[in-house]
């Protein structure tokens, strides 16, 4: 597996991490606090972490939808994971922390089954890019917690905002992320070991995940039709 890293010359060197264990999180944001499956979430909205830290989620257009792996969606997150779905707006999904953090990240999956590339960009309090990172992933319906994790960490609390996206050529793709793990203080090993791990999220299945061997437009139309039938 290969990954691409682009860091501006003026940016502080933050680290790209591809697992929750490597992140060493001591806090997390669970999308289930915003509602149960099929709950529409306003854009923007405020979410509060397990330790009481606020963050604002937003995207370029449209509202979000809460789903749950194995219940309202069929992806490769862990069963029962709560998910924030871009709901056709294609993102990017932005999470802006009220107080900058040492690190943060989440698992991510594209709506269409098959290979994809996830993108994560981190920003400081002045909205300067700290780095852009890409990681290839595989979207399927195995519900086995194999959804890729993308995150960043630093030795100081420099990370004020993250943007998640799944670029496809010139057009972004629908996607979902599970609970965001964060490092709000310098983590101590015994503290991080004791924290629950937010499982991976649900893929916007609703049985709608599409095989890439079919035309993308065909699946897009079918997905929209299914949403209309369920009156989300």
Q: Please compute the mean of the pLDDT values over residues 173-183 and round it to a whole number.
A: 96
Q: Which has the closest alpha carbon to 118: 130, 103, 129, 107?
A: 107
For residue range 21-44, list pLDDT tens digits in order: 999 999 999 999 999 999 999 999
Is the residue at 79 inside a domain?
A: yes
4 in any annotated domain = no
Q: How far apart are CA 29 and CA 81, in angstroms?
A: 12
Q: Is residue 206 part of a domain?
A: yes
Number of domains comprising the chain? 1
> pLDDT > 70: what percent of the chain?
73
| pLDDT tens sequence across 41-91 | 999 999 999 999 999 999 998 999 999 999 999 999 999 999 999 998 888
What confidence category does residue 201 fall into, taking pLDDT thresholds of 50, 70 and 90? very low
Share of the chain above pLDDT 90, in %: 68
Whether the bond between 92 and the residue before it is cis, its omega within 30 degrees of 0, is yes
Mean pLDDT, residues 175-180: 98
DSSP H or E segment with residue 45 = strand 45-48
Q: What is the pLDDT of residue 226?
A: 36
Parent domain of 77: 13-223
Asked if residue 38 is part of any domain, the answer here is yes
Position 198 in a domain: yes
Identify the pLDDT of residue 13.
81
Confirm whether 2 is domain-assigned: no
Q: Which pLDDT score, from 0 to 100, does residue 93 have?
A: 97
Phi and psi, residue 81, nearest 5°: -65, 140
177, 187 in Cβ contact below 8 A? no
Distance CA 224, CA 62 (A): 14
111 occurs within a structural domain: yes
In a domain, 230, yes or no: no
How many helices (H) does the chain have, and how many strands (E)? Answer: 3, 19
Sign of CA dihedral 100, 177, 109, 148: positive
Q: Say how far apart CA 119 and CA 121 lie, in whole Å.
A: 7
How far is Cα 116 from Cα 150, in angstroms, rounded to an integer? 13
188: left (phi over 0), alpha (psi -120 to 50) or beta: beta
Q: Which residue has the higher pLDDT, 45 or 4?
A: 45
């Amino acid at each position: 597996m290969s990954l691409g890293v682009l860091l501006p010359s003026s940016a502080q060197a933050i680290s790209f991490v591809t697992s929750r264990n490597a992140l060493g999180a001591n806090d997390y944001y669970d999308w289930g606090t915003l509602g149960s499956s099929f709950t529409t979430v306003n854009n923007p909205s405020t979410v509060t972490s397990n330790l009481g830290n606020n963050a604002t989620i937003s995207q370029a257009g449209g509202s979000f939808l809460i789903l749950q792996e194995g219940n309202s969606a069929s992806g490769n997150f862990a069963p029962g994971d709560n998910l924030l779905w871009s709901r056709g707006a294609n993102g990017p999904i932005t999470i802006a922390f009220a107080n900058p953090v040492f690190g943060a990240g989440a698992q991510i999956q594209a709506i269409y089954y098959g290979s994809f590339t996830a993108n994560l960009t981190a920003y400081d309090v002045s909205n300067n890019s700290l780095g852009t990172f890409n990681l290839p992933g595989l979207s399927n319906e195995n519900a086995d917690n194999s959804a890729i994790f993308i995150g960043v960490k630093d030795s100081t609390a420099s990370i004020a905002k993250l943007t998640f996206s799944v670029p496809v050529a010139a057009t972004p793709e629908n996607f979902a992320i599970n609970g965001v793990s964060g490092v709000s203080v310098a983590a101590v090993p015994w503290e991080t070991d004791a924290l629950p791990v937010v499982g991976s999220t649900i893929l916007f299945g609703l049985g709608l995940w599409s095989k890439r061997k079919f035309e993308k437009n065909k699946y897009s139309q079918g997905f929209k039709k299914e949403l209309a039938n369920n009156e989300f």
